Each structure stands twice: as structure tokens, then as C-alpha cells.
Chain A
Amino acid sequence: MQKELWKGNEAIAEAAIRAGCRAYFGYPITPQNEIPEYMSKRMPESGGVFVQAESELAAINMVYGAAAAGARAMTSSSSPGISLMQEGISYLVGSDLPAVIVNMMRGGPGLGTIQPGQADYYQATRSPGHGDGHMPVLAPSGIQEAVDLMWDAFEMADKYLTPVMVVADGMIGQMMEPIVWNRTEPLPEADKPWAANGRDGEGQTHFVSSLRLQSSENEQFVHTLKEKYEEITKNEVRYEAVGCKNADILIAAFGTTARIASTAIRKLEKEGIRAGLFRPITLWPFPYEALKELALQESVKAVLTVEMSLGQMHEDVRLSVLDKKPTPFYGRTGGMVPEPKDIAEKVREVIKEAGK
């Protein structure tokens, strides 16, 4: 297959269209502006709808409206914009609506910086907005994976009737690397008998809402969500484990940070230190069991988490390892990117500490 050079943001937009997305609503914010820019041209060409909304709030509610009417819809933003969308994402959860949200994370809090960040981990994995909700969160570590995951994101959204978030960072959005189009066929149109798309004078009125004023009825609904989340947890956990078998130490990292860690791992290999890379691809559901099993190997002295934050996935790593091994942390935050030599230095330090 022919390799093509693509910029991350543009590749993600193109992948969404090829996967069958026909409605995009967004509001500009760096470092993901190439997504709406690309969509503004390609979406109309593909027979879809592009709207530059007046705000992130409007954009996510347009996604809600389009999804409720049965369209395959998405939006994209970056950290501060995603915060503004939280209400709408919660409504999507509360209405069982499929949609895809791309978050090209930047350094926060507040307006912060436009440089890469991973500090929206809690926001993405703990609860999409208010209420008892979750959503699948997919974290590519390069453009090829980002492209492939766009199909999976829309597929999961349709299958489980849920918003799905794809989280990357400014690095993946801005960089260029070669990809192949592993999938080219659009996803089949999902059957959406509940869609509020007009009844043509026949049948029942369809009503899509997240308002259930009877608490008992609402509790019942939340329990259906729970069943959905158990199903997703059973079926969709994804991760990559490289060199983890009999490793001296595991490095847990996702997205861009995992790539940077892999360069550190190569450096360490030359010194005779076997560091394995454990890379969650689904941040929710988190691969607790797989990490636990690898961490409990006798050879593994510690599980080092590396993130572009003060340590958020670190909590999930600790929940996996449960104090059975040391779980140190190394991170840069606020838009700073960790360097391979610093990760390697931290690994040496951890190994030395564990040897005492």
C-alpha cells in the first residue's frame, strides 16, 4: 500500500470523512485548527455538513442535534474548548447518543498554553461532564494510529450509543509522518429507529431527551448505562505492551509521551537495562488487569508512569499495581514535553533505588 505524508490534524479530519462522518461542528482553537479548516473544504465536497459554530457550547449542541436526528456527527477542540463542551457531552451520555469528540490537548489549566499537554486525563476518563457517566477514550500515539482509531471511534459510538473521545495532543496534531489508509470503506449506516428525523405523518413521534424528572426512572436509566459500561469494559480494553516480558522495569505512558519513552527505552537497552513500555490505547476503559499481570512479574522492580501532567494516569497505574510494586512518577506539565534523556535518567534512579 502507498505511504502518504499527512499532517496529524488533517489526517484525522480526512479519516473521519472516509469513515462516514457527515456532520462536523466546531469552533477554532489552537492546536487543532487544521481539523475545522480541512473539514470546511472537504465536508461539503463529501455531501456532508460543516458549520463553524459561534462557540464550543453551540458546536457540541449542534452535534447533539445532528446525532439525535441520526447523523454521524463529530466535533473537535482543545482543552479549554472541551471544558466548555462538558455540559453537552453529559447530555449526549444522558440521551444515549453516538458522537465523536476529538481533544487535541494543550497545557493548562485555564487558557494555559498552546503547547502539548495530557492533563485532561481526569476530565476525559472520570466523567464526561456531570452525572454518572463514562465514555470510551482512545489515545493514539501517532498519526497512523489516530487515523485507524477514527473508524473505531465511530463504530463504538454507533454500537454502544455513546459519545467517544479521541485524545491526542498538539504534537500529534501538528506533526507530519507517513501513513497508509488501512481502511477506506465508510462504516455501514447504523440502524437508528429512535432517531428524531421526522415521521412523515406516520408512526410514533420520536423524542430524544436526557430529562427524567422521576428519580426512580432516572435511576433505572443510569443502571442501563452501567450495563453498557460493563459491556464496553468487557469488549473494548486496548493497550500495547512492548518488551514487557521479563523486563526490569515497566514504563506506563500514553500518546506522544509513550513515543518519547520508547526512545529512552532504546538508550537504556544499550546500557543493559530492560525497560518495557506499557501503553494504554483506551484510557477508559483502562487496561487494569493487563498492567497488573505484567507488573507482578518477578523481574519487574517498579512501574514508572510518565505523563505530560503532574500525574493523572498515575492514579490508574497505582490502582492496577496496588502497592505490590513501587509506582514512581515522572512528568512535565504546563505545555513542556519530557525529553528521552530525562526519562532514561529517572529510570536509572528508580532501578538504583529498587536495588537497595
Chain B
Amino acid sequence: MTRELIIAGFGGQGVMAMGKMLIEAGLKENYHVSWVPSYGPEMRGGTANCSVVISDEPIGSPVVTQPNELIVMNNPSLSRFEPLMEEGGLMLINSSHVEQTPKRRDLDIRFVPCMEEANRIGNPKVANMVMLGAYIAATGAVKMDTVKEMLGAVFHGSKEHLEDLNIQALEAGAKYISRN
């Protein structure tokens, strides 16, 4: 199976980081992976997106033009990428920031209130990790434990408390998706 995912949102929402974490986890689980950032004249507050491919076969095109999975973190990303989606694909929408209603009827669409969940944990900065947790729970693309281990390797010493916070966010996202 080849997951062709686009993650899109505002610069600063952590869309690039989500993509990088996914391919790192994918690599640890021996998948073929690639990550391509949009690198136009981007700026903070502008739109940003990345193409992520996770596959059990060698990757041809690393550029995703017809995603079978989509993570939408803001309104402009919904307008831009929803029409490109493959029929029957999975679309995860950050309902904290996306007020627009999706138009497609042929997609599996799930809403995740990333900001509300992150605020409930106590830090709005981990909203992207809520979405990442939701994505992993919804797809099983990689194992949650793989990502948790990675967080442990990144956050240690004086940053150890961040490991906990990020894990809480992942779990909150996963829990939300399993209930809704």
C-alpha cells in the first residue's frame, strides 16, 4: 500500500514537522518514505504544505498530486486540496480553524478540534500533535509507540516535560478520533 498524504496549513502550525515525524517513524518501521516541502515564497502566516509518501514499495514520484490522504489545518488548504483528492480518500480536518464545509461526498471526512484539545491539555502549541495522533489512530500508518519513542529521544534533560506534553497531545487526538 502506498499512502500519498498532503499536510497543509498556515506556516507555523507545524505541518512540516508533522510530515517529518511521520517519515521518520515510517523509516523506523522499514517503510519506503519521502517528504517534499512546498518551498515557494512562503512566510510565517502564509500557507505551507508538504507531500508525504509512506509505502511498502520503492517510491516513484515523491510529489503528491492526487492524495489518498489529506490533513487540512486551515481554510485555504481545504479549498486548494479537497478537489485533488482521490475518490474514497481520507480527509482529516482541523475543525478549530476550518469553518468551511467540505464539498466532496465521496471521501471519508473526519473532524478534529485540534486547538480545543491542545488547550485542554494546557498548551496550544501541541495542536499539530493532536492532529498527528488522530491521523495515526485513523490510519495505522505507523505505530503510536514508534512516535512516542522518537519524542523520548528528542526531549530529554531540561526538555523532558515536553515529552509528556506531546505524548498527551498524541493520545488526545487518538482518543478523539476513536470516539467520533
Other-chain contact of A114, B27, B40, B62, B65 (Cβ < 8 Å): B40
Once bound together, how far apart are the Cα atoms of A265 and B60, in whole Å? Answer: 9
Q: Kindly state the separation between the CA atoms of A264 and B61 in the bound complex, as whole angstroms.
A: 9
Flag if B35 contacts A262 (CB, 8 Å).
no
Count of chain A to chain B residue pairs whose CB atoms are closer than 8 Å in the complex: 61
Contact A176 B23 (CB under 8 A): yes
Could you say which residues of chain B place their CB within 8 Å of the CB of A354?
none
Residues of A within 8 A of B32 (CB): 178
* Interface pick from A62-70, A83-91, A207-215, A337-345: A337-345
A337 and B51 CA atoms in complex are apart in Å by: 14
The distance from the CB of A12 to the nearest CB of chain B, in whole angstroms, is: 16
Residues of A contacting B59 in the complex (Cβ-Cβ under 8 angstroms):
177, 259
CB pair B62 A171 closer than 8 Å:
yes
In the bound complex, do residue B34 and residue A114 qualify as a contact, i.e. CB atoms below 8 Å apart? no
Chain B contact residue count (CB 8 A cutoff): 20
Kindly identify which residue among A5, A30, A259 contacts B61, using a CB–CB cutoff of 8 Å: A259
> Is residue B66 within 8 Å, beta carbon to beta carbon, of the partner chain?
yes
CA A175 – CA B39 in complex, angstroms? 10
Within 8 A of B (CB), among A28-65: 30-31
Residues of B close to A30: CB separation below 8 A: 39
- Which residues of chain A come closer than 8 Å to B39, judged between CB atoms? 30-31, 114, 170, 174
Q: Which of A31, A171, A264, A341 contacts B63, CB < 8 Å?
A: A171
Known contacts A3-B27, A5-B23, A115-B40; is-contact A175 B61 (Cβ 8 Å): no
**Contact present for A175 and B34 (CB under 8 Å):** yes
Closest to A174 in B: B39
Q: Is the CB of A341 within 8 A of B66?
A: yes
Given contacts A114-B40, A176-B20, contact A260 B61 (CB under 8 A): yes
Report the minimum CB–CB distance from A179 to chain B (whole Å).
Answer: 11
**Quick check: is A266 within 8 A (CB to CB) of the other chain?**
yes
Tell me if B62 and A5 are in contact (CB < 8 A). Answer: no
A175 lies within 8 A of B27 (CB) = no
Interface string of B126-139 (1 = CB under 8 A from A): 00000000000000
Q: Please indicate the chain A residues that have their CB under 8 angstroms from the CB of B61 in the complex.
A: 259-260, 262-263, 340
Question: Bound state CA distance, A171 and B39, in angstroms?
Answer: 9
Cα distance, A310 to B65, chains bound together (Å):
21
List residues of B (22-66) whose CB comes within 8 Å of A's CBs. 23-24, 27, 32-37, 39-41, 59-63, 65-66
Question: How many angstroms between the C-alpha atoms of A263 and B60 in the bound complex?
Answer: 5
Residues of the B chain whose Cβ atoms lie less than 8 Å from the Cβ of A262: 60-61
Query: What is the CB-to-nearest-CB distance from A330 to chain B, in angstroms, rounded to a whole number?
Result: 15
Among residues of A, the one whose C-beta sits closest to the C-beta of B35 is A176
Q: How many residues of A contact B (CB 8 A)?
A: 25
Q: Is the CB of B60 within 8 A of A175?
A: no
Q: Give which listed residue, A31, A115, A176, A265, contacts B34 with CB less than 8 A.
A: A176
Q: Mark A275-314, 1 if CB is under 8 A from B, else 0.
A: 0000000000000000000000000000000000000000
A177 touches B60 (CB 8 A): no
| CB-CB contacts below 8 Å: B61-101 with A | 61-63, 65-66
Tell which of B36, B40, B65 touches A171, judged by Cβ atoms closer than 8 Å. B36
How far does the Cβ of B36 sit from chain A's closest Cβ, in whole Å? 4
Whether A260 contacts B60 in the complex (CB less than 8 A), given A31-B39, A177-B33, comes out as yes
- When C-beta atoms are compared, the residue in chain B nearest to A116 turns out to be B63
Residues of A with Cβ closer than 8 Å to B? 3, 5, 30-31, 114-115, 170-171, 174-178, 259-266, 337, 339-341
What would 16 more interface pairs be, CB under 8 Å, given A30-B39, A260-B61? A3-B27, A5-B23, A5-B27, A170-B39, A174-B37, A174-B39, A176-B36, A177-B23, A177-B33, A177-B62, A178-B27, A259-B60, A259-B61, A259-B62, A339-B66, A341-B65
Residue numbers of B with Cβ under 8 A of A are 20, 23-24, 27, 32-37, 39-41, 59-63, 65-66
Q: Can you report 7 A-B residue pairs in the complex whose CB atoms are below 8 A from each other?
A: A5-B27, A171-B63, A177-B59, A260-B61, A261-B60, A264-B60, A339-B65
Closest 7 CB pairs of A and B: A263-B60, A262-B60, A263-B61, A260-B61, A176-B35, A175-B36, A177-B34
